Amino acid sequence: MLVSIRIPATFAAEILSVADPQRGDRFKRSSILRLEPSVMARTPHFETSANTSANLLRIRLSGDIDAKCMQACVNEVAQLASTLTPNFKVFTDLSGIQSMDTACVPEVERLMDLCREKGVNRVVRLIPKRSKDVGFSILSLFHYPKQVHIVTCATQAEAERALS
């Protein structure tokens, strides 16, 4: 008997971490990934991190991004940015975005303004398809000074080179 379960991607790792084959649990990584790709692709999700030794802020957005998700992301970035020194770099991975609600624009502007105020020097964006640039390039013209170097890359390797 095959049971199809739809769960958000954020819970997949938790399920895998508590699955115990000795106890008879039958969760398999392949099963979970097979059952939920449509949910994983659509669930709004963000990840942020700061590497103080590299003076680098990383932001990853995926799924259908709404204003609530974007606001939470910007709030986390505000905390992380305070750990960096002026002339830091920002890497934004937008490769997993399926869509972004227009209600996100004020939060994206707030994110750009926050990075400018904290002293961003370089912004590297990973956008595999130019059609997925949901206005970041245009907003950058109004929220970053000309001294901030902005690079849009199509591949992860290209983005890593732009960060070095």
pLDDT digits (tens, 9 = 90+) for 63-102: 999 999 999 999 999 999 999 999 999 999 999 999 899 9
Strand 45-51 and strand 56-65: the pairing is: antiparallel
Quick check: 91 and 159 in contact, CB under 8 A?
yes
pLDDT band of 7, cuts 50, 70, 90: very low
Task: Summarize the confidence of residues 156-161 as an average pLDDT.
Answer: 96
**CB within 8 A of 60, min separation 6: which ones?**
46, 47, 48, 92, 93, 96
Does residue 118 form part of some domain?
Answer: yes
In a domain, 52, yes or no: yes
Structure token pair of residue 136: 């970041």
Look at the chain and report how many structural domains it folds into.
2
Residues 57 and 101 in one domain: yes
The predicted model scores a pTM of 0.73
Same domain as 67, residue 15: no
Same domain, 37 and 50: no
Mean pLDDT for the stretch of residues 56-61? 96
48 has which bridge partners?
Answer: 59
- For tokens 């170097």, what's the residue? 149
What's the confidence (pLDDT) of residue 42?
A: 64
Kindly give, in sequence order, each residue whose CB lies less than 8 Å from that of residue 99, ignoring residues fewer than 6 positions away.
Answer: 64, 65
In a domain, 151, yes or no: yes
Contact indicator for 38, 4 with CB cutoff of 8 Å:
no
135 with 110, same domain? yes
Domain that holds residue 109: 45-163
